[in-house]
Amino acid sequence: MERRLYDAAVQGNKISLLDLLGEDALLLDRFITGRYPETPLHVASMLGHLEFVHEVLTRKPELAKELDSHKSSPLHLATAKGYLQVAKSLLQVNPDMCLVCDIDGRNPLHIAAMKGHLDLLKELVQARPWAARVLMEQGETILHACVRCNQLEALKLLVGRVSDHEFLNCKNHEDNTILHLAIAAQQTEVINFLISSTTIDVNCVNEDGYTALDILSQNQKDMTNKQIVESLRRMGATQAKENPLSSSQLKAIRTKILLSPWEQPNAVSKSKKRKHGKRIVHSNKNGDWLERKRNILMLVASLLAAMAFQAGVNPPSGVWQDNGPSGFSTTESNGKNHTAGLSVLADNHPRAYTRFLIYNTTGFLTSLSIILLLISGLPLRRRFFMWVLMVIMWVAITAMALAYSVSIAALTPDHSYSSVINILGTGILVWIGLMLILLLGHTIRLAFRLIKLAFRLIKYILKLVMRLVNLISPRHRV
């Protein structure tokens, strides 16, 4: 029956699939529990049989995370062939497969970028944007892969959506940036884009001590190279080597730079492997950290919202069980009557009830706000947004703590009131001190990040100003 199911997957025959499942309802489960080189979902995804894929995913969505003998998921295969609708179906079931790497260390985003499937790449980036920042096993970024495969549009898309200055200037195991690769491959359009539209560092030095300007031919007769050299010099590019390289030296250096990492088995030293291994782990940890924070915030916000709701509908001291005069006793009612189902605290301690209501409502609404933001689909994948959500969470927790204090104070008899107030006052002071320390620590971290970002922005603006000045003012040469 497995053979017949494979044949149905090759043909994309949905009717045969349903007939086989009618004969054996556990047929698909055997591909999860058994050892097979690939599943029928792999075959159908690779061949683009959308209806077959949809039927399998409807009945057994767990198959979306199964890997074949090359550690490729169905999403890897659909992405490689450019089947957009198949990939969308797989993403709806399990978007985390964007993070899974195959035997060559490539996840589906790497494959989409290398193949130039822009629509697919957009979907994958939208599903899991931080997957684009995972390094491949060879120590190269997805931007390196775009340049190696001459995929300029994919490079522009990724630079605009997931790249920053640090990631843009990331080096591979030979310390070559994407600018080194683009110049070695003589990709003029890529070079012009990097120089004019990004914050690429034009003076990065690779492990052999060459900058981008060093590996460019200084032959003035080559007009293309001449224009690139002038553009680099306007950006402040310099040569690390005093003497220009000969044509044969340039050819040898460019060949070495362009040689694929997997074609250089002895090129990666142990120290380089350790360094780039740390980068991969750091990138994965960053995504894991954000996901853990989201899950924790959602859990705590849900608990606080449930507590606040329960306290609101069942306030301290409970509610009146009958209609009658209000007050601590019938003689102290002052002619006021209470109504069954209304708050006892509101009648006996109206000011305390008002404070309790303010604090409890604040905690309830802030908790609901966190839940709403987390499920809204907004791109809250940056540490800054997580910091904002944590501040909102602090407000919610503090409001619930104040609501607790008001409730305890209102429920305490007169003979114990002073001691309880002292205990609550001490607890509140300790709590405020702890909150201020945490807020100060996170604010200092955020300030350092903003200062670094400001310096990068100023540097980029200065480069733009220098470029404009060089374009406007005439150049005089002696």
Q: What is the pLDDT of residues 420-475, one digit of tens each?
A: 777 877 887 887 788 788 778 877 877 887 888 888 888 888 877 877 776 676 54
CA–CA separation, 158 vs 124, rounded Å?
A: 11
Strands 337-338 and 324-325: antiparallel
pLDDT at 146: 94
CA–CA separation, 399 vs 14, rounded Å?
A: 57
Q: 1-134 and 281-315+347-465: same fold? A: no
pLDDT at 222: 62
Cα distances (angstroms) measured from residue 254 to each of 17, 133, 185, 419: 53, 26, 7, 80
Determine the longest span between alpha carbons in the chain, in angstroms.
109
pLDDT at 227: 80
Q: In CATH, which of 3.40.50.740, 1.25.40.20, 3.40.50.720, 2.40.40.20 is domain 1-134?
A: 1.25.40.20
pLDDT-above-70 percentage for the chain: 85
Residues forming beta bridges with residue 343, ordered by sequence position: 319
Which helix (H) or strand (E) covers residue 324, if one does?
Answer: strand 324-325
pLDDT at 118: 95
CATH topology of domain 281-315+347-465: Butyryl-CoA Dehydrogenase, subunit A; domain 3 (1.20.140)
CB 369 within 8 A of CB 398: no
pLDDT-above-90 percentage for the chain: 27
CA–CA separation, 238 vs 372, rounded Å?
A: 51
pLDDT at 381: 55
Q: Which residues touch 295 (CB under 8 Å, ≥6 apart)?
A: none
Q: Which residues touch 238 (CB under 8 Å, ≥6 apart)?
A: 203, 211, 213
Tokens matching residue 312: 């609101």
Instruction: Give Rg (Cα) of the chain.
Output: 32
CA–CA separation, 474 vs 436, rounded Å?
A: 57
pLDDT at 260: 57
CA–CA separation, 215 vs 246, rounded Å?
A: 10
CA–CA separation, 12 vs 297, rounded Å?
A: 43
Low pLDDT (below 50) residues in the chain: 262, 265-285, 328-333, 475-478
Cα distances (angstroms) measured from residue 269 to each of 92, 230, 265, 266: 41, 36, 10, 7
CA–CA separation, 116 vs 81, rounded Å?
A: 11
**168-268 classified as CATH 3.40.50.2000:** no
For the chain, the structural domain boundaries read 1-134, 168-268, 281-315+347-465
pLDDT, tens digit, 9 for 90 and up, residues 269-296: 444 444 444 444 444 445 555 667 777 8
Q: Tell me whether residue 378 is exposed, middle or buried, using C-beta atoms within 10 angstroms of its C-beta: 0 to 12, 13 to 18, 19 or more.
A: exposed
pLDDT at 402: 84
CB 59 within 8 A of CB 28: yes
- Nearest 5 degrees, angle CA 364-CA 298-CA 302? 40
pLDDT at 347: 79
